[in-house]
């Protein structure tokens, strides 16, 4: 394990992962300073959780003397090429991400999950399977608890969701098992293009070697080209792989041929989470746990009990026979497409949000084929509207309450109102969780109003 005692460490960005990095470094004997563009008042409770002897430069980086530091840890929310991090690197200071810092202090093997969509569901499901198998497992990373919180813990496995932002700053990070679920356009505003974005996702496997397992989506054109390293490769998808892996037929029955196992894995009735994309997530999670030594019985037990995560195809309510589904986690067009593709009945879509530099042409094609109508919100509403061409009915509104009320008015018993924004949330909300919570509240208000009218 790497020693940080006596290091002069600067933590850039004091969000959840920055706080965890600062606390870990302080506990290991480093002299720690934190800096953030937000003020102490804006950061609130986060600042109060810092150890007393951690120095703070808040409200900007202007007072930070780079000559005082020999290590920097950057939070995932801070762009790697922003002016201050660039100045840190140009000063010759070693700069790493929070997951790299954590990895140097972990005593358990890591299962790392990345991809454009499905990371949180798959990571959580891996944790549930390993728990069913009796393993002591930490579940976190970009999901829930930061990876630094696992350092020093007595775990048998670490299941970590890792993002492209976090992978920008790794050096030695080497998972025992890595999953790349898919690579579709996302975060183009930060990464500048698909080539760079795909290369960052592929970094999760860059340090893997013999004895490690890389799990790839056989149906994704970008992940298909990532095999060929020293790690063994297992595949998942809709058709039987040439090598080892798992696959599901049109009937939703999944089979496995990997790790000495061969035969049926699960059927549609065995999995609580619904949708074709979740069949793929379940196969990927199962393969990861087979690589970790979990028995099929634990996989089947967890799949039968796992009901999914909040804000991911979550049934909020049924009002007058209309189902209201919260998929606020659909923060890019491909995720929204997968949401829409999961329905075979009339759907009114609520979409729109902050602009990540993504194109909406493919989403518009699926909307024309699958949706009964579209209600648009946020700064991307004009862009989606332009992509839709002459599709009707559609409308642009200012609030989620207006969107819910209008979508409900277009719907009849048996229909669905689906929040699948295809965009980030930061133009109107704090994050996708906040957006999903506001959708729930808007639906609850609609239900109360309808009840009053009876």
Whether 1 maps to a domain, the answer reads no
User: What mean pLDDT value characterizes the chain?
Assistant: 93
pTM above 0.85, yes or no: no
Same domain, 333 and 437: yes
Query: How large is the average pLDDT for residues 90-104?
Result: 98
Please identify every residue annotated as catalytic: 119, 142, 187
Q: How far apart are CA 63 and CA 242, in angstroms?
A: 58
CA atoms within 13 A on the CB side of 365: 6
Tell me what pLDDT residue 63 has. Answer: 94
Q: How far apart are CA 168 and CA 177, in angstroms?
A: 19
Whether 115 maps to a domain, the answer reads yes
Whether 300 maps to a domain, the answer reads yes
List the structure tokens of 139.
């579940």
Query: How many structural domains does the chain have?
Result: 3
Using pLDDT thresholds of 50, 70 and 90, give the confidence band for residue 451.
confident
- Torsion, CA 442, CA 443, CA 448, CA 452, rounded to 10: 100
Whether 2 maps to a domain, the answer reads no
Same domain, 277 and 331: no
List the structure tokens of 278.
């979740």
Same domain, 106 and 239: yes
- State which of 262, 283, 305 marks the end of a domain: 305
- State which of 260, 286, 305 marks the end of a domain: 305
Coil vs helix vs strand at 96: strand
Asked if 99 contacts 269 with a C-beta cutoff of 8 angstroms, the reply is: no
Whether 3 maps to a domain, the answer reads no
Q: What is the pLDDT of residues 191-226, one digit of tens each?
A: 567 888 888 999 999 999 999 999 999 999 889 888
- Torsion, CA 242, CA 245, CA 250, CA 251, rounded to 10: 140
Q: How far apart are CA 30 and CA 36, in angstroms?
A: 19
- Give the DSSP letter string of 132-182: HTT--EEEEESSSB-GGGGTT---SEEEEE--HHHHTT-SS---SEEEE--
Q: What is the pLDDT of residues 322-357, one digit of tens each?
A: 999 999 999 999 889 989 988 877 999 999 999 888
Same domain, 226 and 145: yes
Whether 421 maps to a domain, the answer reads yes
- Give the DSSP letter string of 396-428: E-SSHHHHHHHHHHT--TT-EEEE--SSBSTTT
Same domain, 266 and 249: yes
Same domain, 53 and 126: no
Same domain, 377 and 285: no
Whether 443 maps to a domain, the answer reads yes
Q: Name the residue range of residue 412's domain.
A: 314-452
């Amino acid at each position: 394990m790497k020693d940080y005692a006596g290091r002069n460490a600067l933590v850039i960005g004091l969000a959840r992962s920055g706080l965890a990095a600062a606390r870990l470094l302080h506990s290991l004997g480093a002299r720690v300073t934190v800096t953030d563009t937000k003020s102490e008042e804006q950061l609130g409770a986060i600042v109060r959780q810092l150890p007393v002897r951690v120095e703070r430069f808040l409200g900007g980086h202007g007072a930070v003397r780079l000559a005082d530091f020999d290590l920097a840890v950057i939070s995932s929310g801070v762009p790697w090429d922003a002016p201050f991090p660039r100045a840190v690197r140009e000063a010759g200071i070693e700069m790493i991400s929070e997951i790299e810092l954590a990895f140097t202090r972990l005593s358990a093997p890591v299962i790392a999950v990345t991809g454009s969509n499905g990371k949180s569901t798959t990571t959580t499901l891996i944790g549930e399977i390993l728990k069913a198998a009796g393993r002591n497992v930490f579940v976190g990373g970009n999901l829930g608890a930061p990876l630094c919180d696992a350092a020093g813990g007595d775990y048998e496995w670490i299941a970590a969701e890792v993002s492209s932002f976090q992978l920008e700053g790794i050096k030695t990070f080497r998972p025992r098992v890595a999953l790349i679920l898919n690579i579709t356009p996302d975060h183009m505003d930060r990464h500048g293009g698909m080539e760079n974005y795909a290369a960052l996702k592929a970094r999760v496997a860059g340090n893997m070697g013999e004895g490690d397992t890389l799990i790839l989506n056989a149906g994704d054109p970008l992940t298909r080209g990532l095999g060929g390293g020293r790690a063994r490769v297992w595949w998942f998808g809709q058709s039987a792989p040439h090598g080892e892996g798992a696959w599901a037929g049109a009937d939703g029955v999944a089979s496995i041929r990997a790790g000495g196992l061969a035969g049926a894995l699960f059927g549609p009735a065995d999995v609580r989470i619904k949708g074709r994309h979740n069949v793929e997530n379940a196969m990927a999670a199962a393969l990861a746990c087979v690589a970790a030594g979990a028995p099929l019985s634990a996989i089947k037990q967890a799949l039968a009990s796992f009901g999914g995560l909040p804000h991911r195809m979550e049934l909020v309510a049924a009002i007058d026979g209309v189902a209201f589904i919260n998929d606020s986690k659909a923060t890019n067009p491909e995720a929204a497409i997968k949401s829409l593709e999961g329905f075979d009945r009339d759907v009114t879509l609520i979409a729109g949000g902050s602009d990540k530099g993504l194109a909406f042409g493919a989403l518009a094609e699926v909307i024309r084929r699958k949706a009964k109508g579209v209600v648009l919100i946020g700064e991307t509403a004009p862009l989606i509207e332009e992509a839709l061409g002459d599709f009707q009915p559609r409308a642009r509104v200012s609030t989620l309450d207006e969107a819910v009320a209008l979508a409900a008015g277009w719907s009849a018993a048996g229909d669905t109102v689906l929040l699948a924004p295809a965009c980030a949330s930061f133009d109107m909300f704090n994050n996708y969780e906040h957006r999903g919570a506001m959708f729930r509240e808007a639906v609850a208000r609609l239900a109360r109003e309808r009840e009053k009218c009876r």
